[in-house]
Amino acid sequence: MAIRNWLARSHPLRGAPGAREVAVSAADWRQIALDLAAGGAQLQALWAERHDGAAARALYAGDDFLLLVTLALPEPEAEYPNLADVFPAANRMQRAAADLTGVRAQDTDMRPWLRHAAWPADYFPLATHLPPPAAAELRPDDYAFVRVTGDGVHEIPVGPVHAGIIEPGHFRFSVVGEKVLRLEERLGYVHKGIEQLFTRTRLLDGHRLAARVSGDSAVAFSWAYCQALEGMAESRVPTRAVWLRALALEAERIANHLGDLGALGNDAGFAFGLAQLSRLKELWLRATETALGSRYLFDFVIPGGVARDAPPERIAELAACARAIEIDVATVRGIFDEHAGVRDRFAGTGVVTPELAARLGVVGLAARASGQDRDLRADLPCEPYTQLRVRKIVRSDGDVAARVNVRFDELAESIRLGGAIAAELPPGSTHTGLAPPPPGGSAVGAIEGWRGPVLVALTAGEDGSIRRCHPHDPSWQNWPALEHAVIGNIVPDFPLINKSFNLSYSGHDL
């Protein structure tokens, strides 16, 4: 009942289906969090703003709603109630908000999260358009990792520079022998300044930046941005365009699952899996380029529709390629299942129990592998998913094997959805003109990407500018779960466990 009382006080928010907004007092900020948690809702994002005043904002998701909660603060230095004990994922979000705006939570972890001494401690990138003041010397800070002590305990620092081409992240293992007692992460080493750059970008151009928040989720982020923008502008996107957006989103999901499943085979010492699934991914990327114009669809989703149409014969070829890939994937999956070494590495490794997943607020495919059955495409569907009836893929074991099986099943589901879209793709235009919305308008976009829910909160500024844009990758919720998943496992299993989540460094480093 408490949740329904809060929803009764809220009003509709443009953009994502089921989105609503409510303004609260400082006392209610924490109370609404407690009530939503008690009712099974999840914290989806938390951020702060400093523009003609200050505010803390949190976005929650329930079974049939998204609720944006806003707390206006009397002055920029004012603090807001801490939510990390209610929603553990809030800890790093609150720290990032403090680094970027100077708006802090009370009685919280004071360690910087994004700053890394890259700018002075009294400079806040989202509180001014000025560059950071010149400093005589900025030295790397001595980050206070949590220490584990006891007989035989030692630390293994890994990163932030890794082999290969992945982005930097530091992992501090506390171990006895090879058994992991604790893992603590530190991310944010390549601060790209995306949220500040949004404030220097035009509303009608912001989709291009959104697509580059995390390159493996370009379609999801650009669609979420456009959904928010189109909601503010009260613009109706042509039906053919939204169906093509869905086709692109499922194409993005297929490519990522093919690549990650191959890499998981490789991390289990099974190079055959990597070779075969990499081959299939390359075939898929070539087919995607032929049908939709590029291998990776960074600028396919644009305000008012999509950047290009696809001829019927190319759509048919893409669907045929997907069906052929599905046959080969089924064969490879059977080999995975029958291979004793692969089964031994996957089963029982990196477990996140359903209870822990719920407590930590894990989202997306990692959550569905741990018994959580949320998927925006089914729970709060936008067009055309209201007509496609997405099947949720849920497992309960919560180990690497469960996450692998969810990927295989979701790959098959995306191929089914792609075939349905190809068969039912309606005729018509693929783009409509879009005028910038009036200043001060706000909206939220929410799209279920391959990793989990991708969110964009957007506020319009003067003369077609962006006052504030907060993009949120699901990795924010899932990085802490990785720390728990590795406990009790041996150090050599970490790459396998890490890849089974495959979280975004870039999407976490704004």
DSSP secondary structure string, 123-159?
A: --TTT-SSPPPP-S--PPP---PPP--STTEEEEEE-
N- to C-terminal Cα separation, the chain: 37
Residue 63 corresponds to which tokens in the numbers above? 């079974």
Angle 239-243-244 (CA atoms, 0-180°, nearest 5)?
A: 115
Residue type, 115: R
Residue 315 corresponds to which tokens in the numbers above? 């759509």
pLDDT tens per residue across all 510 residues of the chain: 589 999 999 999 999 999 999 999 999 999 999 999 999 999 999 999 998 889 999 999 999 999 999 999 988 778 999 999 999 999 999 999 999 999 999 988 999 999 888 788 888 999 876 677 665 566 777 889 999 989 999 999 998 888 777 888 999 999 999 999 999 999 998 888 899 999 999 999 999 999 999 999 999 999 999 999 999 999 999 999 999 999 999 999 999 999 999 999 999 999 999 999 999 999 999 999 999 999 999 999 999 999 999 999 999 999 999 999 999 999 999 999 999 999 999 999 999 999 999 999 999 999 999 999 999 999 999 999 999 999 999 999 999 999 999 999 999 999 999 999 999 999 999 999 998 898 999 999 999 999 999 999 999 999 999 999 999 999 999 999 999 999 999 999 999 999 999 999 999 888
- The answer to whether 398 and 353 are in contact (CB under 8 A) is yes
C-alpha to C-alpha distance for 111 and 99, rounded to whole angstroms:
9
Architecture of domain 1-144: 2-Layer Sandwich (3.30)
> Quick one: how far is CA 399 from the chain centroid?
20
In three-state secondary structure terms, 382 is coil
In three-state secondary structure terms, 180 is strand
Total residues belonging to the chain: 510
Q: Which helix (H) or strand (E) holds 20?
A: strand 19-24
